[in-house]
């Protein structure tokens, strides 16, 4: 295993970790809003959030590439105003990963909120708790299983991305080359031994993470 192998894995897991943190910050408020809103626009919001589940990754990657390129209005403004270039950069990978993995955070957390008895929030409000205090001190502690599921699914899904990261980030060693792209490169070059190193590492990682989630959720369910 050479330096490039470890560098590629580091970029892969760094991307997944940063994406997961952002998804927590974005996904919890979104899930809370969707679980409580009575708006007629709720199906539209849920449809947009769920689109990455059914949309081919290359389609999403293509439109992100077009809309964020320096030749586009948004891309040109970001480059001129903040000197930020999102295409073929790590920052662009993070943005694309947040959009592509959003439903994997929002759906479990939303289901967790919706499955909680309404009496939890009502009792907190009766005791004078604000909505923010109720969210952090009452509701979130009671959906630990849903939060863990969202975190793990988001992280694992980002680790396994291919289409979006290839379209938006390209294949730049040490910057945007992640493990899924490395596997494709090695197979294309008929270097199956190197491809197997990446593939086996991701396989074992995925197995261990899912095993821990099922074990934790099973133990948590027995406790409650």
**Judging by beta carbons within 10 Å of its beta carbon (0-12, 13-18, 19+), is residue 56 exposed, middle or buried?**
exposed
Domains (ranges, CATH) in the chain? 3-223 (1.10.3720.10)
* pLDDT given at position 221: 52
Distance CA 12, CA 224 (A): 35
Q: What is the pLDDT of residues 178-216, one digit of tens each?
A: 999 999 999 999 999 999 999 999 999 888 888 887 887
222 pLDDT higher than 60:
no
Q: What is the pLDDT of residues 119-139, one digit of tens each?
A: 888 888 888 888 888 888 889
* pLDDT given at position 219: 56
| pTM (predicted TM-score) | 0.89
1 pLDDT higher than 70:
no
Average pLDDT of the segment spanning 150-158: 92
84 pLDDT higher than 50:
yes
Query: Do 67 and 99 meet the contact criterion of CB atoms below 8 Å apart?
Result: no
Query: Which residues does 15 contact at the CB level (< 8 Å), separation at least 6?
Result: 90, 93, 94, 97, 158, 165, 178
Q: What is the pLDDT of residues 88-123, one digit of tens each?
A: 999 999 999 999 999 999 999 999 999 998 888 888
Query: Which residues does 131 contact at the CB level (< 8 Å), separation at least 6?
Result: 125
Average pLDDT of every residue of the chain: 89
Average pLDDT of the segment spanning 28-44: 93
15 pLDDT higher than 70:
yes
- How many other CB atoms are found less than 10 A from the CB of residue 72? 15
Distance CA 16, CA 30 (A): 20
């Amino acid at each position: 295993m050479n330096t490039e192998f470890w560098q590629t894995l580091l970029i892969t897991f760094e991307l997944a970790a940063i994406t997961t943190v952002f998804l927590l910050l974005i996904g919890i408020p979104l899930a809370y809003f969707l679980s409580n809103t009575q708006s007629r626009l709720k199906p539209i919001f849920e449809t947009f959030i769920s689109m990455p589940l059914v949309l081919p990754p290359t389609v999403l990657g293509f439109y992100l590439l077009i809309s964020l390129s320096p030749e586009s209005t948004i891309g040109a403004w970001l480059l001129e105003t903040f000197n930020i270039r999102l295409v073929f950069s790590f920052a662009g990978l993070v943005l694309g990963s947040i959009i592509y993995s959003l439903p994997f955070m929002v759906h479990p957390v939303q289901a967790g909120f919706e499955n909680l008895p309404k009496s939890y929030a009502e009792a907190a409000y009766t005791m004078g708790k604000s909505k923010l205090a109720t969210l952090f001190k009452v509701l979130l502690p009671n959906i630990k299983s849903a939060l863990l599921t969202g975190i793990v699914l988001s992280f694992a899904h980002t680790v396994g991305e291919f289409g979006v990261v290839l379209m938006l980030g390209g294949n730049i060693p040490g910057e945007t080359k992640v493990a899924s792209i490395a596997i494709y490169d090695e197979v294309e070059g008929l270097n199956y031994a190197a491809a197997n190193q990446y593939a086996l590492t991701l396989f074992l990682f995925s197995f261990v993470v899912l095993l821990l989630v099922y074990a934790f959720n099973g133990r948590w369910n027995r406790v409650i």
